[in-house]
Structure 1
Amino acid sequence: MSQSSYGRMWDAAQGALEYLLEDEYPTMQLHPQKDRMQVFQTLATFYLRYLKIFRALEEVYDQLVHPQKRRVVHQVLEGVMGRLVELKNEMVELEYSEFHFFDDILQDLKMTPEDLEVPIPRYFVREKMRALKEREKMLAHILAKGGRQEDKTVPVLQSMSIERAMWLLQVSERARQGRLRAHFMKTIRQEEQRRLQSSSSSILDPDRAATCIQKVWRGYRDRRRVQKECLEEMIFLGREVDGGKERTRSGRLVTLPTSDLVAPGRATLDYEATKEKTARGPSERRDGRWAHKDGSNGNDRNE
């Protein structure tokens, strides 16, 4: 933060301190409070507000560079710390305890429990460093005379042999490789399980499989039936059938199913009989001869 930011922080803390002094020492004389709990609430509120101002002023005093401003802030900071001590003593005398509960007041002032900690001003140590060092030297001299000074010995590090170091390195490296191998095998196992799940999900259910088989079989059966009917029709029409092949008008041979073929001689006889029957009209065959339904012989007509 810049010096201007700390200047604004100082201004805000000074304004909050003025408002607090107006609330603590009002111009109009107030009636004395007789309720013990109400008195404690008032003291605790003032204490927390002073503590908040103290934190801001301590931060400003630690970061300011201007010597005149630091002198003024130091005086205000000393006064705020003195007032904090006075309020603490008053609360202890009122509650007969050094531990207080500020839950409701913290909630009203929108503060956290961490804000209750009273920080030690940093300038205490920095400005009194020489006095503190002299005090430490004096204490060390007194303890040395009395024989109570503890020897500050530095622990000696134990040396390690080369074999021990190599063994530790090998153990660490093998452990690292084992972890990598385990991770690699885990990845492979997961991919295998994922592939098995995808393949099992792609298998058809029995109903769909049966439907597919029925479609294929019915198609094959109908094709054979159509081929058989075509063969019978060609035999009826007297087309030439040669070794399972039928010759069309263009002279091209068409392959026919051998299981449904009929002998050529029989096909010719059937064709001649059908042709003669069609020419004579409706008739019946009796004793190897064709006869009409009216009782006349078909051969008489030919004669």
Structure 2
Amino acid sequence: MKYSGIGGQAVLEGVMMKNKEKYAVAVRKPDGEITVDTKEYYGLIKNKTLRNIPILRGVLSFVESLTLGISTLTYSASFFEEDEEDTKAKKKELSKEAAAKKEKAEMGITVAFSFVLAIGIFMILPYYLSLIFRKFITSHVALALIEGVIRMMIFLAYIASISLMKDIQRVFMYHGAEHKCINCIEHGMELNVENVRKSSRLHKRCGTSFLLFVMIISIIFFAFIDVKSRILKVVLRLLLIPVIAGVSYEFIRLAGKSDNPVVNFLSKPGLWLQKLTTREPDDSMIEVGIASVEAVFDWKKYLSEM
């Protein structure tokens, strides 16, 4: 089986697919029409040599995925937040240049806020909660394990709670459509609704699996931090986050290319978690996923070369 190299994300009533520097966002508009917006994104660093350095490429991929994800989510949401007259009026008020600057500024603030919030909730909060156990446990390794368990519980509780929201459930259905489209191609089937419908909604090369491995690998890394200063412990945790993200990316990247039994076994927790973050899509959602794929990837050529 050949590795297609395409990846994607679910957005509001749509799917984003990316292949190399090209990405497309397909959205089912309120009137039922599918609109596809195709653009190029070269990332934070254009130098291919730097982008292929192990660990560093994972850090770049994480930040770029967050940036691109928020951008495409904002785009898809624009079809549902305001009517056409309001949109035209706003476009008249702002020049294209001013609108672009405003959008970039808002995007930067949103990405920064999202990153800081995630770090606070999933990295710093578990550490301080684990300090409660210092009265009974002196081993820093045991405390690091407890911290990791707390972090995992917060993460799973977050996933489980948002999965109960109706709007998020629809996003998860589009997430399922994204995975099913990629699986359909990678398993050598023609990309059509029928074939996509019978493909799996779980995929080893998924952001959900990546985040889970960040949680797991952080336990191992943080177990080696043995300093007395609490402030220094927090600082070291923050400094290690890029490394942890890079290592997690390398495993997900390997998992997407390998059918090794050990790799498949280690991938299972991420696949289990995807049962929460994906849902079976309906045919209209699959059509959106197919439109997104076809905008960035020549699947017919790919299948002919398998």
Q: What's the TM-score once normalised by structure 2's chain length? A: 0.17
**Higher Rg of the two aligned structures:** 1
